[in-house]
Structure 1
Amino acid sequence: MASTTAFGDFLRFYRSRVPLTQEELAERTGLSTRAISDMERGRTLSPQFRTVQLLLDGLGLRDEEAAEFTALARASRVVAAQNRPEAPSTATSSSLPPVLLELTGRDSERLLLEGFAADASSSSRLQIAVVHGAPGSGKTALAVDAGHRLGARFADGCAFLDLRGTDTEPLAPDRAAHRLLRSFGVQERQIPSDPDDKLSLYRSRLRDRTVLLVLDNAANEAQVRPLLASSPGTLVLLTSRRVLTGLDARHRLALELLPPHHSVELLGVVTGADRVAAEPEAAARVAELCGGMPLALLIAGNRLTSRPRWTIGHLAGQLEDEGRRLSVLRAGDLQVRAAFEISYHQLGPGAAALFRRLALVPSPGADAALASVLTDDAEEALEELADASLLGISETPGRYTRHDLLQVFALERLELDEDPAVVAEVRTRLRHWLLDVATGAARFFDHDREATPSGPVHDRESASRWLELELENWREALRWAVEAGEHDRVLALAQAMHWYSDMHGVGDLWRDVFAAGAHAAQMLGNAEDAAEQLNYLSWALYALCGRPHEALAVHKKAALAPENTITEAWTCYYGSAIHRRVGEAEEAVRLGRRSVELFERAGYQIGENLALSLLGLVLHTAGHLAEAVEVQQRSVDQHRKAGGDDELLSMMLIRLATTVAASGEVPAALDLLDEAESLFRRHSNTAGTARVQHNRGLVLMDAGRFAEARAQLRAALAEARLSDHRVEIMARLAELADAAGEPGQARELRVRALAECDRYDTPAVRRTAAKLVAALTH
């Protein structure tokens, strides 16, 4: 009789003959490396038919060799079954549903379940494992797979029971015990009619067995608790949409949705790998629109399989329509919407209301403070939604997340179950709350106004965290306010964001915020506020978006408005920086001097110090190094004496260090940069730290300290925020790669830098682009 390892031996032989590594064969077939390794070592005793077919294609086996290989796989399954330890006929692995589709993208979960089974075999107490997750996440498929793979490890096999937890009437514990007793081989006439006696008999029979007991689709703790008899060596594997926190479970596994590559892989398993390979972009889009949900991917694949003339792109086009998406994700009796409705209708009124109203929140994340704006008793409702797996638990403590398809479903329920007038009131309340909290949070960074603790924001640290976490929400709220004509609120937010924007956020964010602020000020008829917002808009355009010519046009509009002394000073300040960017150094110097003069006249110390620092920068650009060092040192000294803000001081130190290094004093420049970095790190300012690393890398490179320069520039590239800095960093790293004898790395960096150049319109970037082209075509 054939050995159970014969199949594995031939698999290894054919793989080596090609030759292929296990990893290469895995890539060819779509199987996991671990699965191939298990088959070759004889650990997988019964390879599935589809697995064998994939191996035949991957190994290129044809005719007699293919027939022999298939026969070996079949013989392996037979021998494996005959060699299993004898178990009573009551060990009912036959109660397991068949595996209709190869489990995909769950290798790590399978490995965890193997570990749970190993723990059970060495434990003197009952082991309970709970697998929980959102509707459609594939909990049952994972449990059935575990039953087939791991049941043979238990002396009395595997028993499987669907507890029907999502039905209107879930299976009562005594009825569940009755079915399990029958699966244990107990005759009908031996089963008591009294529910308590029935459960007692069940527990006594289970204590005599060592089984893998799979209780699928549990409704709640009360349903399963009577079924958890103590039996050393037994593993009870529970699946539920609910977390079942009331159970003393030794193991818990939250079944997450599939990442993009595994989502495409599952689509290919259902639809056919060749079909997916022919339309990779469309397949990726379908996977994305299914949100990594196995049920949705299975339905999408089935629709494609049943419609062979459809392209995957056609299905993607149908799914793009959010209003139709859940209707499209239906195949026979499989429906995503129906799966969601079961869980939704089991919610209490408060949780159901919150679930619906969370559809009004732009981002997929929310916390109790935001949820409290939508409904009363929000914390309790959030916990109920999380327990029902209709919300996920974020990696950020206190925050919850929701799935894209659940968001679509929630919006449907909002339209069906809520009064439109109530929805409009909740939407307005949410918008006002987001704008008010964002405005208050930004003021903790304002050097000119006092901030007041409010709601979730009570200091600078909590303000920074809230603004970052809720960015998508308050940004969308600003757009809504613009559409609603709420000019006062729009302007208040834009004004508050001035100093916060210095070190946080990206160019398109601040372009939108300050453009909205300027429009709001104009609508309110406030010329000075409009000029102020236009100044900030010009800054976003030249400093972050790399569009100095657009910035110059905005600057000229600001200069035309009637201004007070401080606003005029800011106009000159930003104008100086813009003219420097477009290569007009002398005009930049003139405006820089004017800015210093105006701030000094107004007695505005912070503005004067910043203007002195910028003047030094433009003097440096114009070639006046000695005066540049002098005015930059003055800005630093004055700021220190006044006890000014650390992060503003850091920016002044960077500018001074750059000029000092250009004067040949490299050690002094590095000391200044070290101080700037320590100040930025004290405030967890990653963008500022990256700016220090960028400038330190340039100083070290010019000093011939290439290895150190490379490390600094690489670190800076990961966080670089300003527009043309990324281009410069990559161009310099390419030069360092050349020096290190790495032409391939140098070419890749230059190609990336050149692609980035198209986004910016500055003389410096154009010069860099020309050099990059020359180097690439050399």
Structure 2
Amino acid sequence: MSTTAFGDFLRFYRSRIPLTQEELAERTGLSTRAISDMERGRTLSPQFRTVQLLLTGLGLRDEEAAEFTALARASRVVAVRERPATPFAVASCSLPPVLVELTGRDGEKELLDGFAADAASSSRLRIAVVHGAPGSGKTALAVDAGHRLGPRFTDGCVFLDLRGTDHEPLTPDRAAHRLLRSFGVDERQIPSDPDDRLSLYRSQLRDRTVLLVLDNAANEAQVRPLLSSSPGTLVLLTSRRTLAGLDVRHRLALELLPLNHSLDLLRTVTGSGRLDAEPEAALRVAELCGGMPLALLIAGNRLTSRPQWTVGHLAGQLEDEGRRLSVLRAGDLEVRTAFEISYHQLSPAAAALFRRLALVPGPDVSTSLASVLTPDAPEALDELADASLLGISDVPGRYTRHDLLHVFATERLGLDEDPAAVDEARTRLRHWLLDVATRAALFFDHDEPAERLGPVHDRESSDRWLERELENWRAALRDALEAGEHDRVLAVAQAMHWYSDMHGVGDLWREVFSAGAHAARRSGDAKATAAQLNYLSWALYALCGRPHEALAVHEQAAAVPIDDTLTEAWTHYYGSAIRRRVGEPEKAVALGRRSVDLFEQAGYGIGENLALSLLGLMLHNAGHLTEAVEVQQRSVDQHRKAGGDDELLSMLLIRLATTLAAADQVPAALDLLDEAETLFRKHSNTAGTARVQHNRGLVLMDAGRFPEARAQLRAALGEARLSDHRVEILARLADIADDPAQARALRVRALAECDRYDTPAVRATAAKLVAALS
């Protein structure tokens, strides 16, 4: 009697109801895998209890139940008679050896463990695709999985390199031939006809439960004929391509290694001694390899094969971007070759875009930016992403790029493109970035209308664009300055005035407004020169904590010979804030009063309201609280009456609230801060929200409400933007800390922050911190 007769009848009775294997498993309490193995004859001796559960689940009675039980009994007898002396196993020796311990892939290994467990409980073939950039370690991960997980499968593990990156990858029928040999099929029994060979392969796979590792797949067409129904089997595919055309249950995009794991891999290859002796150089080597396992392996091999070299020497070689890929070569391992294979498989349009993306300085690129470089950008980007030469960002519509691939793209740009065409593309990209940056910034301007074009059409889209493209438009500004494009540089710097008030950091605005001032001077525009120097002085005192440098720049602005009341008003406005920062409160008040008068003369309401609010701050600082409240309330009232901007109103409310709290009007102050926070959150302004939380924390602390104050100050710390605010927040948190150890840690952090700023207030705080720590 055939040992599969019991399985045939089990399948017949299940199909008659009908039930899926999963549904029968649920009825009986057996596993889906157990039912699948019995139907295929893989379980040759079902237990008596298993048969009874199946009788109940299938609803068999009388003669059918007796026949089914007899078949089970007979299959156990045949199984004993026909069981081979040693269990069948496929040629697991086809797995390559593990030469270097897999490092930094614990999360990926855990995922593969889960894929294998899913396959074991499934009545269907399970497929998992591991894809990633050249050199990301796909094969190493798959080989490790084969050695670790192969024993979980009844018939072991089979490994086959499909040679997808070769000039002639394995055809499906040739792959089937090799797999049949791995299954133990005699060469004489393998058909010569390709279709017959594939049919035999599929029938052989159907009767086995294996971990089938198909490494280095070229495309879906190569793999699809090799997939056959085989319950319990897991097919693990690796490819540089995403193989998006396959219906796959599990996908794993293999990312590059973070820096700590990059160091671990280097240490695995070279040993700990050399790296620990030069930790900074080792860190730099890991950084320059960009987290790519192949590059790290090569770097480690170069060190071990050259014991005379220091780690610093290798780091120095890698620093030279023009030689980096040449240095990353050891024997037959070469990063450049790995990249070239994928590059030469691209369509002409995708290859052209890949090269031209070397002109983009930032680490990621948008579809709209890529479209400036080639008209076929959307399709080319998809192809590059499918080939793992670009990564897909968490932000929809953006693509990420590996540092070493950027170096390779730069090489190909020089080799494959006409220099004149490269210069034209570079100029076109620079102009587009600066033009869009100018339009985007104008959406925050209170005076100039913004143009709704391209990727920016309102404040929200403009804010996103300016933040995401920051590295790109900032680099474009530098290039334009070097190219002498003064009109474009000045247009960007002028447009950024109001945007900078709530966004960005000090170094950014010091650079932008320095460039603006230089461009204005070269253009011979005195009014613009004074305005840009004013903005630069603001960046220096407010964001960079350099009030004395700010004062020197302010004096340059005041010395520019112009006849413009509005520009003069702004000069006095910024001068007032600077004088306060350098410890001259009465001068600050005098300049503040003059700025109010000048804005009023110019008929510029926004400036007048801001100047009134700032004057109130100066009066508060000088101890004139009653007048401070009066002028700040006037600024708020006038701004509300004019229907002014929400975010400007919020700033006015914060200043008034601070002065009210100092005048013992705490409830009124807290109400104004609540209103300001509501307005900031309405516009998703995190920096403004943090400023509210900072000031609310100070008010609550002075009112003795320490737990509430602590919560507000902690919330503000991460987004604190003005130069000395982080120092103040940390010092105040230390004053109300829960225990002495926490207070000490906060004071140490605050003291470290003090080194970044040079203001009298920060120096005084530093002295107090040192005294408290002594």
TM-score by length of 2: 0.88
Distance, in Å, in 2 between the alignment partners of 1:671 and 1:273 is 60
Distance, in Å, in 2 between the alignment partners of 1:88 and 1:230 is 23
- Determine if the alignment matches structure 1 residue 648 to structure 2 residue 668: no
Query: Which of 751, 755, 760 is equivalent to 1:763?
Result: 760
Distance, in Å, in 1 between the alignment partners of 2:565 and 2:87 is 94
Distance, in Å, in 1 between the alignment partners of 2:446 and 2:696 is 28
Structure 1 counterpart of 2:98, which letter? Answer: V
Distance, in Å, in 1 between the alignment partners of 2:527 and 2:295 is 55
The DSSP-based 3-state class of the residue aligned with 1:719 is coil
- Determine if the alignment matches structure 1 residue 173 to structure 2 residue 172: yes
Aligned pairs for 1:352-367 within 5 A? 352-367=351-366
CA deviations on 1:473-528 (whole Å, 9 max, x unpaired) are 00010000000110110111111000000000011111111111111111111111
Aligned pairs for 1:37-116 within 5 A? 88-116=87-115
| Conserved? CA contact 1:89–1:185, under 8 Å | no
The DSSP-based 3-state class of the residue aligned with 1:720 is coil
**Cα distance, 1:90 vs structure 2:** 4.6
Structure 1 counterpart of 2:486, which letter? Answer: H
Corresponding residue for residue 723 of structure 1: 723
Aligned pairs for 1:282-361 within 5 A? 282-361=281-360
**Cα distance, 1:309 vs structure 2:** 2.3
CA deviations on 1:598-620 (whole Å, 9 max, x unpaired) are 11111111001100100000000
Gaps of 5+ in 2: 1-83
Cα gap change, 1:711/1:185 in structure 2, threshold over 3 Å: closer, same or farther?
Answer: same
Distance, in Å, in 2 between the alignment partners of 1:217 and 1:670 is 64
Corresponding residue for residue 751 of structure 2: 754
**Cα distance, 1:557 vs structure 2:** 1.4
- Determine if the alignment matches structure 1 residue 132 to structure 2 residue 137: no
Corresponding residue for residue 244 of structure 2: 245
| Conserved? CA contact 1:87–1:155, under 8 Å | no
- Determine if the alignment matches structure 1 residue 415 to structure 2 residue 406: no
Distance, in Å, in 1 between the alignment partners of 2:706 and 2:630 is 30
**Cα distance, 1:316 vs structure 2:** 0.9
**Cα distance, 1:87 vs structure 2:** 7.3
Corresponding residue for residue 504 of structure 2: 505
Distance, in Å, in 2 between the alignment partners of 1:163 and 1:86 is 34
Distance, in Å, in 1 between the alignment partners of 2:726 and 2:563 is 36
Corresponding residue for residue 491 of structure 1: 490
**Cα distance, 1:706 vs structure 2:** 1.1
Distance, in Å, in 2 between the alignment partners of 1:174 and 1:194 is 9
The DSSP-based 3-state class of the residue aligned with 1:400 is strand
**Cα distance, 1:274 vs structure 2:** 2.6
**Cα distance, 1:276 vs structure 2:** 2.1
Corresponding residue for residue 571 of structure 1: 571
**Cα distance, 1:543 vs structure 2:** 0.5
Distance, in Å, in 2 between the alignment partners of 1:538 and 1:234 is 69
Structure 2 counterpart of 1:342, which letter? Answer: I
Distance, in Å, in 2 between the alignment partners of 1:369 and 1:236 is 38
The DSSP-based 3-state class of the residue aligned with 1:445 is coil
Distance, in Å, in 2 between the alignment partners of 1:340 and 1:94 is 30
- Determine if the alignment matches structure 1 residue 773 to structure 2 residue 770: yes
The DSSP-based 3-state class of the residue aligned with 1:238 is strand
Corresponding residue for residue 71 of structure 2: none
Corresponding residue for residue 19 of structure 2: none
**Cα distance, 1:275 vs structure 2:** 2.4
Corresponding residue for residue 687 of structure 1: 687
Structure 1 counterpart of 2:745, which letter? Answer: E
Distance, in Å, in 2 between the alignment partners of 1:733 and 1:498 is 33
Corresponding residue for residue 232 of structure 2: 233
The DSSP-based 3-state class of the residue aligned with 1:522 is helix
Corresponding residue for residue 635 of structure 1: 635
**Cα distance, 1:86 vs structure 2:** 9.2
Corresponding residue for residue 676 of structure 1: 676
Distance, in Å, in 2 between the alignment partners of 1:86 and 1:744 is 70
**Cα distance, 1:88 vs structure 2:** 4.7
**Cα distance, 1:317 vs structure 2:** 1.1
| Conserved? CA contact 1:120–1:126, under 8 Å | yes
Corresponding residue for residue 392 of structure 2: 393
Structure 2 counterpart of 1:100, which letter? Answer: L
Structure 2 counterpart of 1:715, which letter? Answer: A
Corresponding residue for residue 4 of structure 1: none
**Cα distance, 1:292 vs structure 2:** 0.5
CA deviations on 1:116-151 (whole Å, 9 max, x unpaired) are 000001111110000000000000000000000001
Aligned pairs for 1:580-591 within 5 A? 580-591=580-591
| Conserved? CA contact 1:445–1:460, under 8 Å | yes
The DSSP-based 3-state class of the residue aligned with 1:492 is helix
Corresponding residue for residue 41 of structure 2: none
| Conserved? CA contact 1:350–1:376, under 8 Å | no
Corresponding residue for residue 657 of structure 2: 657
Corresponding residue for residue 207 of structure 1: 206
| Conserved? CA contact 1:219–1:242, under 8 Å | yes
**Cα distance, 1:152 vs structure 2:** 0.8
**Cα distance, 1:345 vs structure 2:** 0.4
Distance, in Å, in 2 between the alignment partners of 1:401 and 1:86 is 56
| Conserved? CA contact 1:438–1:467, under 8 Å | yes
**Cα distance, 1:744 vs structure 2:** 2.1
Corresponding residue for residue 280 of structure 1: 279
Cα gap change, 1:564/1:196 in structure 2, threshold over 3 Å: closer, same or farther?
Answer: same
Corresponding residue for residue 265 of structure 1: 264
Structure 2 counterpart of 1:258, which letter? Answer: L
The DSSP-based 3-state class of the residue aligned with 1:129 is strand
Structure 2 counterpart of 1:581, which letter? Answer: R
Distance, in Å, in 1 between the alignment partners of 2:757 and 2:734 is 20
Aligned pairs for 1:456-495 within 5 A? 456-495=455-494
Distance, in Å, in 1 between the alignment partners of 2:310 and 2:400 is 33
Structure 1 counterpart of 2:587, which letter? Answer: E
Of residues 543-552 and 437-446 in structure 1, the stretch that sits farther from structure 2 once superposed is: 543-552
Aligned-residue CA RMSD (Å): 1.1
Structure 1 counterpart of 2:453, which letter? Answer: S
Corresponding residue for residue 71 of structure 1: none
Structure 1 counterpart of 2:681, which letter? Answer: R
Distance, in Å, in 1 between the alignment partners of 2:438 and 2:261 is 41
**Cα distance, 1:291 vs structure 2:** 0.5
**Cα distance, 1:278 vs structure 2:** 2.1
Distance, in Å, in 2 between the alignment partners of 1:499 and 1:647 is 11
Structure 2 counterpart of 1:746, which letter? Answer: A
Structure 2 counterpart of 1:771, which letter? Answer: K
**Cα distance, 1:556 vs structure 2:** 1.2
Of residues 665-674 and 624-633 in structure 1, the stretch that sits farther from structure 2 once superposed is: 665-674
Distance, in Å, in 2 between the alignment partners of 1:524 and 1:282 is 46
Distance, in Å, in 1 between the alignment partners of 2:686 and 2:292 is 35
Larger-gyration structure (1/2) = 2
Distance, in Å, in 2 between the alignment partners of 1:563 and 1:95 is 85
The DSSP-based 3-state class of the residue aligned with 1:299 is helix
The DSSP-based 3-state class of the residue aligned with 2:462 is helix
Structure 2 counterpart of 1:485, which letter? Answer: G
CA deviations on 1:34-58 (whole Å, 9 max, x unpaired) are xxxxxxxxxxxxxxxxxxxxxxxxx
Counting matched residue pairs gives 690
Distance, in Å, in 2 between the alignment partners of 1:308 and 1:775 is 51
| Conserved? CA contact 1:131–1:254, under 8 Å | yes
Corresponding residue for residue 593 of structure 2: 593
Corresponding residue for residue 711 of structure 1: 711
The DSSP-based 3-state class of the residue aligned with 2:256 is coil
Distance, in Å, in 2 between the alignment partners of 1:544 and 1:706 is 28
Distance, in Å, in 2 between the alignment partners of 1:110 and 1:316 is 31
Corresponding residue for residue 430 of structure 1: 429
**Cα distance, 1:643 vs structure 2:** 0.8
| Conserved? CA contact 1:362–1:473, under 8 Å | yes
Structure 2 counterpart of 1:151, which letter? Answer: G
Distance, in Å, in 2 between the alignment partners of 1:549 and 1:404 is 40
Distance, in Å, in 1 between the alignment partners of 2:298 and 2:481 is 41
Distance, in Å, in 2 between the alignment partners of 1:483 and 1:496 is 20
Distance, in Å, in 2 between the alignment partners of 1:371 and 1:88 is 58
Distance, in Å, in 1 between the alignment partners of 2:717 and 2:89 is 64
Distance, in Å, in 1 between the alignment partners of 2:620 and 2:204 is 88
Cα gap change, 1:676/1:197 in structure 2, threshold over 3 Å: closer, same or farther?
Answer: same
